[in-house]
Structure 1
Amino acid sequence: MKKPLFAFLALLALTGAAAAQQIDLGGIGQANGETVGYIIQMFGLISVLSVAPGLLIMVTSFTRFVIAFSILRAGIGLQSTPANLILISLSLFMTFYVMAPTFDQAWNTGVRPLMDNQISQTEALEKISDPFRTFMLRNVRDKDFDLFADLARERGQQVSRETVDLRILVPAFIISEIRRGFEIGFLIVLPFLVIDLIVATITMAMGMMMLPPTVVSLPFKILFFVLIDGWNLLIGSLVRSFN
Structure 2
Amino acid sequence: MLAGVTVLALSVLSLSAVAEPAGIPALTMVTEEGGEQKYTVTIQILALMTALTFLPAALMMMTSFTRIIISFSILRQALGLQQTPSNQILIGLSLFLTIFIMTPVLEEANRTAIQPYLDETLAPKEALEKASLPFRDFMLAQTREDDLNLFVRISGKTYETLEDVSFWVLMPAFVTSELKTAFQIGFILFIPFLIIDMVVASVLMAMGMMMLSPMIISLPFKIMLFVLVDGWALIIGTLAASFGI
Q: TM-score, normalised by structure 2?
A: 0.82
SS at match of 1:225: helix
User: 1:113 matched to which residue of 2?
Assistant: 116
The structure with the larger Rg is 2
User: 1:222 matched to which residue of 2?
Assistant: 223
1:27 corresponds to which of 20, 25, 28: 25
- Amino acid across the alignment from 1:225: F
Q: Any idea what the Cα deviations from partners look like across 1:5-37, whole Å, max 9, x if unmatched?
A: xxxxxxxxxxxxxxxxxxx96323xx8766xx6
Name the % identity. Answer: 47
User: 1:143 matched to which residue of 2?
Assistant: 146
How has the CA–CA distance of structure 1 residues 233 and 32 changed in structure 2, closer, same or farther, with 3 Å as cutoff?
Answer: closer
SS at match of 2:84: coil
Q: Any idea what the Cα deviations from partners look like across 1:180-222, whole Å, max 9, x if unmatched?
A: 0000000001100000000000001101111000000000000
The CA distance in 2 between the partners of 1:194 and 1:94, in whole Å, is 29
- The CA RMSD over aligned residues, in Å, is 2.1
- Amino acid across the alignment from 2:73: S
Higher relative contact order (CA 8 A, sep 6+): 1
Could you tell me which runs of 5 or more consecutive residues in structure 1 were left unpaired when the two chains were aligned. Answer: 1-23
Instruction: Confirm whether residue 102 of structure 1 aligns to residue 100 of structure 2.
Output: no
The CA distance in 1 between the partners of 2:29 and 2:113, in whole Å, is 27
User: 1:11 matched to which residue of 2?
Assistant: none
How has the CA–CA distance of structure 1 residues 137 and 81 changed in structure 2, closer, same or farther, with 3 Å as cutoff?
Answer: same
- Amino acid across the alignment from 1:142: E
User: 2:60 matched to which residue of 1?
Assistant: 57
User: 1:171 matched to which residue of 2?
Assistant: 172
The CA distance in 2 between the partners of 1:242 and 1:25, in whole Å, is 51
Q: Any idea what the Cα deviations from partners look like across 1:18-66, whole Å, max 9, x if unmatched?
A: xxxxxx96323xx8766xx667765543332123111101000001100
The CA distance in 2 between the partners of 1:54 and 1:26, in whole Å, is 32
User: 2:232 matched to which residue of 1?
Assistant: 231
The CA distance in 2 between the partners of 1:202 and 1:125, in whole Å, is 61
Alignment size in residue pairs: 215
The CA distance in 1 between the partners of 2:158 and 2:48, in whole Å, is 28
Q: TM-score, normalised by structure 1?
A: 0.82
Larger deviation, residues 43-52 vs 113-122: 43-52
Could you tell me which runs of 5 or more consecutive residues in structure 2 were left unpaired when the two chains were aligned. Answer: 1-21, 31-38
The CA distance in 2 between the partners of 1:33 and 1:228, in whole Å, is 62
